[in-house]
Amino acid sequence: MPTRVARQKTLESRNVLLDDFRVGLYTQHGIMLQQLLTEKPPDAEEVSKWLVAYGQKIFAAGKA
């Protein structure tokens, strides 16, 4: 997939965060990210709700 030019460390960090989001979404809420993103059409509000909750979680943990 084409992407902007980014440092390898940045790309690795993004992958770690995405994987953490995916795992947490399933283990804590029983929601599979793949299913959430492949709904026709995807519910942007639902995706946004879960991303905001994840962002708040990592911010509270001092990882933001």
Per-residue pLDDT of 17-28, as tens digits, reads: 999 999 999 999
pTM above 0.85, yes or no: no
Per the CB < 8 A criterion, the answer to whether 4 and 11 are in contact is no
4: its two tokens: 């902007």
Asked if residues 36 and 22 have their Cβ atoms less than 8 Å apart, the reply is no
Token pair 């283990």 in the structure block, residue: 27
Share of the chain above pLDDT 70, in %: 92
Q: Contact 42/36 with Cβ under 8 angstroms?
A: yes
Return d(Cα 52, Cα 21) in angstroms, integer: 11
